[in-house]
Amino acid sequence: MVRHVIAPVDELPPGTRKFLTIDERPIAIFNIEGEFFGLLNRCPHQGAALCEGPLIGLAQSSDPGEIEYTRQGEILRCPWHGWEFDIRTGQSYCDPKKFRTRAYPVNVEPGTNVVKGPYVAETLAVSVESDYVVLDL
């Protein structure tokens, strides 16, 4: 596992996402209300840029006509065919056993840790004063 420094926390405020390529893999980092998530930006169905899709909540029902709508903003819909993916796990909702996209752990680390290593920060100058978004690949 290699830990990649993505950006200073200030550059990824809540409601934003950042797209980047790490080791030739297209990856997107999301900040959802202060929590960070990383997903492979490729739909397992037909390869669309999954992470460019809209974020919605999770609609569930225990009785027809009754809808429980929870986890707002945590379900990603593929821009091509509308399939839903859980941003926490990468699993699809239409066929969870067969279709999932890769989810990567993303954490916030203080600059003092990041400076020490063993982190990869390709084009990023790291300083001890900031906190950084770090993705494990």
Partner 1 sequence: MTSPLAGGVDCDLHPAVPHLTSLLPYLNDYWRDQVTTRGMTDLVSQSYPTNSPISSRPDWRPAQGKPGSSLDDMKAQALDRFGVSTGICNPLYGVQMVFSEDMADAFCRALNDWLVKEWLDKEPRLRGSIVIPVQSVEKSVAEIERCAKDPRFVQVLMLVMGDMPLGKRAYWPIYAAAERLGLPIGIHAGSNYHNPPTSVGWGSYHIEDYVAQAQAFQTQLTSLIVEGVFARHPALKMVMLESGWSWLPSYLWRLHKFWRGVRMETPWVDRSPQEIVRSNIRFSLQPIDAPPDPAILNRLFDHMQSDELLLFSTDYPHWQFEGDQVLPEGISPDLVRKIMVDNPHATYPRLKQPVAKETTP
Q: Which residues bind partner 1 (CB under 8 A)?
A: 56, 59-67, 81-84, 93-95
Instruction: State the minimum distance, in angstroms, from the CB of residue 63 to partner 1.
Output: 7
Give 13 or 97: the residue with its C-beta nearer to partner 1: 97
Give 21 or 62: the residue with its C-beta nearer to partner 1: 62
> Do 105 and 135 form a contact (C-beta atoms < 8 A)?
yes
Instruction: State the minimum distance, in angstroms, from the CB of residue 56 to partner 1.
Output: 7
Instruction: State the minimum distance, in angstroms, from the CB of residue 74 to partner 1.
Output: 13
Give 39 or 75: the residue with its C-beta nearer to partner 1: 75
Identity of residue 16: T
Residues forming a β-bridge with 37:
30
> Do 108 and 14 form a contact (C-beta atoms < 8 A)?
no
For residue 27, how many other CB atoms are within 10 A of its CB? 23
Q: Please state whether 105 falls in left (phi above 0), alpha (psi between -120 and 50) or beta.
A: beta
C-alpha dihedral (100, 102, 108, 114), degrees to nearest 10: 170
Instruction: State the minimum distance, in angstroms, from the CB of residue 64 to partner 1.
Output: 3
Give 57 or 117: the residue with its C-beta nearer to partner 1: 57
